[in-house]
């Protein structure tokens, strides 16, 4: 049985973690499969949105499979940390918008995986948290990403205590974008993806690049990037198709060019 499944539906792709008996606990093998998937997605110019889901497992992802920790000490960076960080960075750097559909608990490394996506849709009542400190561990990648989202004080509370939070609290803090009251988070993510793919794909890819740059570079450098991006928009066929559709009172037919 494949531990990572991929399903394409037009311009939307759903990537499903498929290790239900272990609550999608992540092994190095699964990270390698994700790395291959990200490489394929990155090269797909026709893909407009990607969804990451936990499938039928009782958790979105329960984090790393701690059975792989036993023999890791001084060589952990070479054997585990660097590779997993690379996979999470590759997810965050995908050119198209990405959505984590969280239908079960996202704990530890599972929450790190969700935070590497652009958006998070969560089923009401699901638990979220960085539980590594309970084992004396650390969510290194997650510590950085969660601080960008919720600020240092709330990030430290999550990391120091290892406590889980409710979906309502996660929504209020900005940790998730939407909470689904009825139905599944996957259904909610598909609905959100439908709104994303209906917009200009060139615009969305550039918007993602600019928002990320706003967090990672100086204000002046990010504004310079925005000027270049705006010119790319005016050079694109999509903008002029959008203008034509608006004037003709019809739905635009964006081609991603």
E-assigned strands of 10-93? 12-17, 49-53
Q: What is the CATH number of domain 201-248?
A: 1.10.12
Q: What is residue 139's predicted lDDT score, i.e. its pLDDT?
A: 82
| Structure-token pair, residue 194 | 């439908």
Q: What is residue 70's predicted lDDT score, i.e. its pLDDT?
A: 62
Give the single-character DSSP code of 164: -
| CATH 3.90.226.10 domain span(s) along the chain | 4-197
Specify whether the CB–CB gap between 154 and 133 falls below 8 A. no
Per-residue model confidence as pLDDT tens for the chain (257 residues): 578 889 998 999 999 998 877 888 878 888 889 999 999 999 998 999 999 999 988 889 887 766 655 665 666 665 666 878 898 999 999 999 999 999 999 998 899 999 999 999 999 999 999 988 888 888 878 899 999 999 999 999 999 999 999 999 999 999 999 999 989 999 999 999 999 999 989 999 999 999 999 988 899 999 999 999 888 888 888 888 888 888 988 888 888 78
What is the residue whose two structure tokens read 């960008």?
148
Specify whether the CB–CB gap between 61 and 24 falls below 8 A. yes
Which residue of the set 7, 70, 84, 132 is catalytic?
132
| Separation of alpha carbons 99 and 189, rounded Å | 7
Q: What is residue 216's predicted lDDT score, i.e. its pLDDT?
A: 85
| Structure-token pair, residue 175 | 């940790």
Specify whether the CB–CB gap between 130 and 139 falls below 8 A. yes
State yes or no: is 112 an active-site residue.
Answer: yes
| CATH 1.10.12 domain span(s) along the chain | 201-248
Q: What is residue 77's predicted lDDT score, i.e. its pLDDT?
A: 63
CA distances from residue 49 to 16, 40, 55, 166 in whole angstroms, order as listed: 14, 13, 18, 27
Which residue of the set 112, 157, 163, 191 is catalytic?
112
What is the residue whose two structure tokens read 């952990």?
76
Q: What is residue 172's predicted lDDT score, i.e. its pLDDT?
A: 95
Q: What is residue 84's predicted lDDT score, i.e. its pLDDT?
A: 83
Neighbours of 143 (CB within 10 A): 16
Return the H-helix or E-strand segment holding 32.
helix 28-42
Question: What are the residues facing 129 on neighbouring strands?
Answer: 107
| Separation of alpha carbons 222 and 212, rounded Å | 9
Three-state DSSP state, 65: coil
Q: What is residue 213's predicted lDDT score, i.e. its pLDDT?
A: 92
| Separation of alpha carbons 59 and 107, rounded Å | 9
| Separation of alpha carbons 160 and 139, rounded Å | 11
Task: Kindly provide the b/e burial profile for residues 5-19, where b requires at least 16 CB atoms within 10 angstroms of the residue's own CB.
Answer: eeeeeebbbbbbbbb
Q: What is residue 195's predicted lDDT score, i.e. its pLDDT?
A: 94
The CATH-assigned architecture of domain 4-197 is: Alpha-Beta Complex (3.90)
Q: What is residue 256's predicted lDDT score, i.e. its pLDDT?
A: 77
| Separation of alpha carbons 228 and 234, rounded Å | 10
What residue spans of 151-218 are helical by DSSP H?
152-161, 167-173, 185-197, 201-216
Specify whether the CB–CB gap between 16 and 51 falls below 8 A. no
| Separation of alpha carbons 196 and 189, rounded Å | 10
């Amino acid at each position: 049985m494949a531990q990572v499944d991929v399903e394409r539906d037009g311009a939307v792709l759903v990537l499903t973690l498929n290790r239900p008996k272990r609550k999608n606990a992540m092994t190095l093998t699964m990270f390698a499969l994700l790395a291959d998937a990200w490489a394929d997605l990155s090269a797909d110019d026709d893909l407009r949105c990607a969804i990451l889901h936990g499938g039928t497992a009782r958790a979105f992802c329960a984090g790393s499979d701690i059975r792989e920790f036993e023999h890791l000490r001084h060589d952990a960076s070479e054997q585990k940390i660097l590779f997993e960080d690379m996979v999470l960075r590759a997810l965050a750097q995908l050119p198209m918008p990405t959505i984590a559909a969280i239908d079960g608990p996202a704990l530890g490394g599972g929450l790190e995986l969700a935070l590497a996506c652009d958006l998070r849709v969560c089923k009401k009542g699901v638990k979220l948290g960085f539980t590594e400190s309970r084992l004396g561990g650390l969510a290194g990648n997650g510590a950085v990403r969660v601080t960008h989202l919720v600020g240092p004080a709330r990030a430290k509370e999550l990391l120091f205590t290892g406590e889980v939070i409710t979906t309502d609290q996660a929504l209020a803090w900005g940790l998730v974008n939407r909470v689904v009251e009825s139905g599944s988070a996957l259904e909610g993510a598909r609905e959100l993806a439908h709104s994303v793919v209906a917009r200009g794909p060139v615009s969305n890819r550039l918007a993602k690049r600019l928002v990320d740059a706003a967090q990672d570079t100086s204000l002046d450098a990010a504004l310079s990037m925005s000027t270049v991006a705006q010119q790319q928009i005016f050079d694109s066929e999509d903008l002029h198709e959008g203008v034509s559709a608006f004037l003709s009172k019809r739905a635009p037919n964006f081609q991603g060019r």
